[in-house]
């Protein structure tokens, strides 16, 4: 053995793998969650706030609605990422899809946008586009339910007989 390396034909010892601590496995998940929080901040907080501010309809009520939904969306996103592989992650992913769909519907006032410029009042109705915007989160929720059912269906079942005296 020259230089600390096993020579050809010799039997080398296997180097034991280090066990990563439980805390370190959450570091990449935390980074992933932080990135998704920033993306959610842009889509679910900044964009509606700027849109309502430009149209002059940013009232305290609308601001509270945006902040409340954003808080719930961020909380469910972080739970989904940090508890990956647990049943709570699947439940939060399903809830997240429904909350996002309801948020999109409520923040767009059901697909009706009314803007008044000077003495001109313009109303735009875009329900078909609204339903298309709501489709991806709802499909994601259905996919999460389907995956959870398939995962539980593929688990082995043990039959236990209960004998009563």
Q: What is the pLDDT along the chain (165 residues), one digit of tens a residue?
A: 555 555 555 555 565 565 556 677 788 899 999 999 999 999 999 999 998 888 878 889 989 999 999 999 999 999 999 998 888 999 999 999 999 999 999 988 888 887 777 788 888 888 899 999 999 999 999 999 998 888 877 767 666 776 776
Q: Mean pLDDT of all residues in the chain?
A: 84
DSSP state, residue 52: H
**Domain locations along the chain:** 26-148
Q: So what's the pLDDT on residue 11?
A: 55
**Whether the Cβ atoms of residue 73 and residue 95 lie closer than 8 Å to each other:** no
Report the predicted TM-score, pTM, of the whole model to 2 decimal places.
0.73
Dihedral, 108, 112, 117, 120 alpha carbons, nearest 10: -170
- Nearest CA to 91 among 101, 74, 79? 79
Query: pLDDT digit string (tens) for 44-80?
Result: 999 999 988 888 788 899 899 999 999 999 999 999 9
**Whether the Cβ atoms of residue 45 and residue 67 lie closer than 8 Å to each other:** yes
Q: So what's the pLDDT on residue 87?
A: 85
């Amino acid at each position: 053995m020259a230089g600390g390396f096993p020579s050809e034909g010799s039997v080398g010892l296997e180097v034991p793998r280090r066990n990563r601590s439980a805390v370190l496995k959450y570091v990449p998940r935390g980074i992933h969650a932080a990135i998704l929080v920033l993306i959610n901040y842009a889509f679910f907080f900044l964009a509606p706030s700027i849109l309502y501010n430009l149209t002059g309809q940013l009232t305290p009520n609308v601001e509270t609605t945006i902040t409340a939904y954003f808080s719930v969306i961020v909380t469910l996103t972080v739970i989904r990422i940090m508890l990956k592989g647990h049943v709570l992650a699947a439940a939060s992913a399903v809830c997240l899809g429904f909350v996002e769909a309801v948020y999109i519907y409520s923040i767009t006032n059901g697909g009706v946008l009314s803007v008044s410029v000077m003495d001109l009042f313009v109303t735009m109705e875009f329900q078909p586009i609204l339903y298309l915007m709501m489709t991806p989160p709802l499909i994601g929720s259905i996919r999460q339910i389907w995956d959870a059912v398939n995962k539980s269906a593929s688990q082995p079942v043990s039959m236990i007989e209960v004998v009563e005296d």
